[in-house]
Structure 1
Amino acid sequence: MGAPRTEPAFHSIEAHAFALRAILSNDPPRWRLLALARSLDLPDCWIGAGFVRNAVWDHLHGRPPAAPPGDVDVAWFDPGRAHPSEDKALEAALRGLEPGVDWSVKNQARMHRRNGDAPYASAVDAMRHWPETATAVAVRRTAQDSCEIAAPFGLDDLFRLVLRPTPGFAGERHGAFLARVQAKGWLAAWPKLRMKPR
Structure 2
Amino acid sequence: MRFGRLPIDEQVEVLKEVLGHNEVLTEVLEGAAELDLPGWYLTAGCVFQTVWNVVTGRPATEGVLDHDLFYFDASDLSWEAEDAVIRAGSSRFGTTAVEIRNEARVHLWYEAKFGVPCPPHDCTESAIDSFAATTCCVGVRVEPGGRWRVYAPHGLSDVFDLVVRPNPVLAPRSVYEAKTARWREQWPELAVLPWP
Runs (5+) with no aligned partner, structure 1 = 1-9
* Kept after mapping to 2: 8 A contact 1:169/1:176: no
For the pair 1:85 / 2:80, whether they are aligned, the reply is yes
Aligned: 1:161 with 2:162: yes
Residues 12 and 156, structure 1, Cα contact 8 Å, conserved in 2? no
State the aligned residue count: 186
Q: Percent identity?
A: 28
* 8 Å Cα contact 1:169/1:177 also seen in 2: no
Q: Distance in 1 between matches of 2:151 and 2:63?
A: 19
CA deviations 1:83-131 (Å, max 9, x no partner) are 2222222222122122111221111111123331222111001111111
Q: Aligned partners of 1:169 and 1:156: how far apart in 2? A: 22
How far 1:169 sits from its partner (Å)?
5.5
- Equivalent residues of 1:133, 1:165 under 8 A apart: yes
Identify which of 30, 35, 57 aligns with 1:35: 30
8 A contact 2:48–2:135 mirrored in 1: yes
Give the alignment's TM-score, normalised by structure 1.
0.84
* CA distance 1:67–1:88, shift in 2 (3 Å): farther
In structure 2, stretches of 5+ residues that fail to align are 111-116
How far did 1:71 drift? 2.1
Aligned to 2:192, which of 180, 190, 195?
Answer: 195
CA distance in 1, matches of 2:166, 2:131: 9
Q: How far apart, CA to CA, are the structure 2 residues paired with 1:146 and 1:68?
A: 28
Partners in 1 of 2:19 and 2:179 — Cα distance?
Answer: 25
For normalisation by structure 2, the TM-score amounts to 0.85
CA deviation after TM superposition for structure 1 residue 67, in Å: 6.2
Query: For residue 22 of structure 1, what is the aligned residue in structure 2?
Result: 17
